[in-house]
Structure 1
């Protein structure tokens, strides 16, 4: 009895999950995305408090400082998350035009939501200096973009690979310091 996982199982699992996600409305996907962005934003605000590197303020001023800082960080995170989602969606859709896409922008945004979510969720690994974390997140982004283009836009393997790699190269260019490419 073989104990290994077949190649068909590895690639059919994510594809099946993306097909299930394709049936959901974009609103649900955006709620999922912005929940992750909000959680990570608050986590980044709480990180200095948890590590003991917080500013030395006593009493009631400390509570107001934490509350204001959390609110500001949350708003910045949501704004930056919105800009990142729109920018990466536009880049992905630009490359989809090369492969003759006739789908609406909504499908591209759905693909980008699920490709960017792990990047945002595990961005702490890059900030903490985990070796090759940026590169692994970039590869993960490309794989999820591949499955998103393949399922949401119903493109062939080679066209999905082109869009995923081209979008990944653009993302790596703009995030080259975080990814670890000098």
Structure 2
């Protein structure tokens, strides 16, 4: 009996990962997405504490400020996350119409969930002005969108590249200050 791990099972490629994600229902993907949004929202609230830029509030007022602030930022983050998911999904689906999409909008939302999740979770890097973080995130978004369209919509490489780049250009246009373009 061999205990060796094959390279394919140790490091599955993006194609295999997206194929496994395609088997899951959209509900699980949305739960994952909104969990990421909630974590990122709490991180944004805690960012001033971690960088030492806190307000001069002492004692019990600081606790209430943190609790109320966290709840407000969490609700605001969930609403913004829902709007961002819908907006980017609509843009991606719009470009999919040019390449003759035959899949439902749910497949587009699945693709968008996995393209936006890392951007949302690590967006603090842009706020901390880490060099080229925005461009790196944009490249990651385009690559994730490519695999999402390729697997979830079963499109050819050239059509998936078109949709990924077109959606990335629209996203870069609206977020050009954050991306650094």
TM category (shorter chain) comes to: over 0.9
Distance 1:143 1:124 in 2: 20
Which consecutive segments of 4 or more residues in structure 1 shift more than 3 A?
none
SS at match of 1:103: coil
Q: CA RMSD in A?
A: 0.9
Alpha-carbon offset, residue 157 of structure 1:
0.3
1:148 aligns with 2:148: yes
Distance 2:138 2:161 in 1: 14
Alpha-carbon offset, residue 53 of structure 1:
1.3
* Structure 1 segment 1-182 matched on structure 2, within 5 A: 13-181=13-181
In the alignment of these two chains, the number of paired residues is 170
Distance 2:129 2:57 in 1: 29
TM-score by length of structure 1 reads 0.92
Alpha-carbon offset, residue 54 of structure 1:
1.1
Q: Deviations over 1:104-135 (max 9, x none)?
A: 00000000000001111111111111111100
Distance 2:87 2:140 in 1: 18
Distance 1:142 1:16 in 2: 18
Partner of 2:5: none
Alpha-carbon offset, residue 70 of structure 1:
0.3
**Unaligned 5+ runs, structure 2:** 1-11
SS at match of 1:178: helix
Alpha-carbon offset, residue 51 of structure 1:
2.2
Partner of 2:4: none
**Unaligned 5+ runs, structure 1:** 1-11
